[in-house]
């Protein structure tokens, strides 16, 4: 309600200011015309024009200065409000990105027979050729280290279906609420991630599973290697965008100690 009144007051102020300028201009033109056509007394015209010109100049300058200051103040307030909502939106992105990273990591962990010798220092170290080779051979019909709400085991395909469905809902919820304060680049990357080919591919596999068409074959991630690479690139792109705006303590980052811890634990139930 407060913002509504502020907007109405600003709107009325601008309208009144422009109306005032128009009236002053009209009176000035009318008086000048009267003086030129000698309808008005010339002595009065001479004195009036001298005084009025000075007063008019001062009034017009004053009004325009007020308009400029009000416009500047309004623009600053709007930008501050936009940045506040942008920070709220980016907090949601942090949760989404962290969950996606852990999903990527545990796909690798489930595909590996042992801990790789490679030293992982940052998020970017995860996505190399070895990663896509290993994950491509993961049998999606094997049991994932997670359980459903009833405590029953779930295979990797069902787990991915759930995670990607939750991802789409979360991303579009952020866009619905905060797209007005996000840059076009951010909106574009988020939409591409939510509609990525990998998500569509997994959805198709889920439908095939329900129709008992892939009962004896689950190593189908190898068939969508390009989709997996594209998805990881979009993920990294959104991480970069987020980290550029986030405070150091809020960035999505993984250090060497965290990597060690990740290799030591399973997915949470």
CA distances from 23 to 52, 67, 71, 73, 226 (A): 14, 17, 22, 26, 68
Domain residue ranges of the chain, discontinuous segments joined by +: 2-76, 84-264
Mean pLDDT in consecutive groups of 10 residues from the start of the chain, 269 residues: 44 56 66 62 61 65 75 74 75 89 89 80 87 88 78 87 93 88 89 93 86 67 88 94 86 79 62
**For position 76, what pLDDT does the model report?**
74
Look at residues 225, 236, 238 and name the one whose alpha carbon lies nearest to residue 197: 225
Residue 216 has which token pair?
């004896």
Backbone torsions φ then ψ of 196, nearest 5 degrees: -65, 150
pTM, two decimals, is 0.69
Length of the chain: 269
Q: How far apart are CA 103 and CA 174, in angstroms?
A: 20
Residue 178 has which token pair?
């905060």
């Amino acid at each position: 309600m407060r913002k509504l009144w502020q907007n109405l007051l600003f709107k009325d102020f601008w309208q009144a200011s422009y109306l005032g300028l128009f009236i002053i201009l009209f009176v000035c033109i009318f008086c000048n015309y009267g003086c030129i056509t000698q309808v008005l007394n010339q002595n009065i015209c001479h004195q009036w024009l001298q005084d009025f010109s000075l007063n008019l100049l001062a009034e017009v300058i004053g009004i325009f200065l007020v308009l400029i200051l009000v416009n500047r103040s309004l623009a600053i307030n709007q930008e501050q409000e936009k940045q506040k909502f942008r920070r709220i939106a980016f907090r949601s992105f942090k949760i989404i990105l962290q969950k996606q990273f852990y999903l990527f990591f545990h796909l690798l962990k489930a595909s590996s027979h042992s801990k790789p010798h490679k030293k992982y220092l940052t998020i970017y170290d995860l996505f190399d050729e070895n990663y896509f080779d290993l994950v491509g051979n993961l049998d999606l019909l094997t049991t994932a280290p997670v359980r459903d709400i009833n405590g029953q085991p779930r295979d990797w395909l069902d787990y991915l279906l759930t995670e990607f469905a939750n991802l789409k809902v979360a991303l579009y919820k952020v866009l619905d609420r905060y797209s007005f304060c996000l840059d076009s680049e951010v909106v574009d990357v988020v939409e591409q991630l939510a509609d990525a080919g990998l998500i569509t591919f997994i959805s198709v596999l889920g439908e095939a599973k329900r129709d008992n068409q892939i009962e004896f074959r689950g190593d189908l991630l190898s068939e969508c290697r390009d989709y997996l690479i594209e998805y990881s690139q979009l993920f990294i792109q959104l991480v970069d965008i987020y980290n550029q705006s986030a405070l150091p303590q809020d960035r999505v980052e993984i250090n060497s100690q965290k990597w060690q811890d990740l290799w030591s634990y399973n997915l949470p139930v």
